[in-house]
């Protein structure tokens, strides 16, 4: 049955693990917790979208937004993955759509161990597998575009001119449901071998974070247009 009804509320607050979301190693770093997955996704705005073209993988950086259990990416109606999602039916499926893997990664720290082998990165990542579909419903498309803008700067969508009919027609939006999802993260300090502890190498963690500089206003701002509060808070 088709419609605009929201899917039934999940019975648990975790995604069900599948064959491809259970890692072959470091399984203790994997999580299926929805709250954690949402938090990682909401902290970012650039994902790496993977798809298959002529049998070979393609990975492109692109903006994304989240609305509940749905992710959205957008692009020109002429761009390759957007076109492919409208044309192709993935293997084993009758409906059009594009098999994708959407990955979001935050780097939190450089883990410098005494041994080269135990060097690592503190990070949080989310990997989403699924089939992306073109959004055709105008209301869903508008909401998705708002979400994309608000993902970059919360509050920004309401403080910009919405897309007009021509712009909406030139923009394709893909939806990817959050169903086959896992988070993976490393936190904490170095993990050296006991026999290496006495080595004279500095060891520890260098924190890494995203930093915003002073906003640079366009030269042609309308008179009296000040820096909005949501930017001052970034």
- Nearest distance from residue 42's CB to its own copies, in Å? 16
Q: Is 115 exposed, middle or buried (0-12, 13-18, 19+ CB in 10 A)?
A: middle
| Residue 88 binding its own copies, by CB under 8 A | no
- Determine if 8 is a binding residue for its own copies (CB under 8 A): no
The answer to whether residue 134 forms part of the interface with its own copies (CB under 8 A) is: no
Q: How far is the CB of 7 from its own copies (least distance, A)?
A: 19
Distance CA 104, CA 42 (A): 10
Q: How far is CA 87 from CA 110, 111, 150, in A?
A: 43, 45, 29
Identify the residue whose tokens are 């209301």: 139
| Maximum Cα interatomic distance, the chain, rounded to a whole number of Å | 67
Of the residues 40, 41, 71, 99, which one makes contact with its own copies according to CB under 8 A: 99
Residues between 143 and 162 with contacts to its own copies, criterion CB under 8 A: 145-146, 148-149, 152-153, 156-157, 159-162
Q: Which of 171, 174, 176, 178: binder of its own copies (CB under 8 A)?
A: 171
Q: Segment 172-231, which members bind its own copies (CB under 8 A)?
A: 189-190, 192, 196-222, 224-228, 231
Q: Residue 224, by phi and psi: left (phi above 0), alpha (psi -120 to 50) or beta?
A: left
From candidates 63, 67, 88, 185, binder to its own copies by CB under 8 A? 63
Q: Where does residue 79 rank: exposed (0-12), middle (13-18), buried (19+ CB within 10 A)?
A: middle
Minimum distance between the CB of residue 3 and its own copies, rounded to whole angstroms? Answer: 12
User: Among 3-11, 35-43, 64-72, 112-120, which window interacts with its own copies (CB under 8 A)?
Assistant: 112-120
| Sole residue written with tokens 């039916």 | 89
- Give whichever of 13 and 27 is closer to its own copies, judged by the CB atom: 27
Strand partners of residue 122: 109
Shortest distance, position 12 Cβ to its own copies, whole Å? 25
């Amino acid at each position: 049955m088709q419609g605009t009804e929201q899917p039934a509320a999940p019975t648990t607050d975790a995604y069900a693990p599948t064959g491809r979301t259970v890692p072959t190693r470091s399984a203790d770093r994997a999580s299926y917790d929805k709250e954690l997955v949402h938090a990682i996704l909401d902290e970012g705005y650039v994902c790496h979208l993977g798809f298959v073209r002529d049998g070979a993988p393609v990975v492109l950086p692109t903006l994304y937004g989240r609305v509940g259990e749905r992710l959205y990416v957008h692009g020109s109606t002429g761009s390759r993955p957007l076109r492919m999602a409208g044309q192709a039916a993935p293997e084993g499926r009758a409906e059009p759509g594009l098999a994708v893997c959407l990955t979001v990664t935050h780097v939190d720290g450089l883990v410098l161990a005494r041994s080269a082998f135990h060097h690592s990165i503190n990070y949080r990542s989310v990997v989403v597998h699924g089939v992306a579909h073109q959004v055709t419903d105008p209301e869903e498309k508008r909401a998705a575009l708002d979400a994309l803008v608000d993902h970059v700067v919360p509050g920004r969508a309401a403080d910009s001119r919405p897309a007009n009919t021509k712009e909406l027609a030139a923009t394709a939006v893909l939806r990817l449901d959050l169903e086959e999802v896992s988070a993976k993260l490393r936190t904490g300090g170095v993990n050296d071998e006991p026999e290496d502890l006495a080595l004279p190498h500095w060891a520890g963690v260098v924190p890494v974070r995203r930093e915003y500089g002073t906003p640079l206003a366009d030269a042609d701002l309308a008179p009296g247009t000040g820096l909005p509060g949501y930017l001052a808070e970034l």
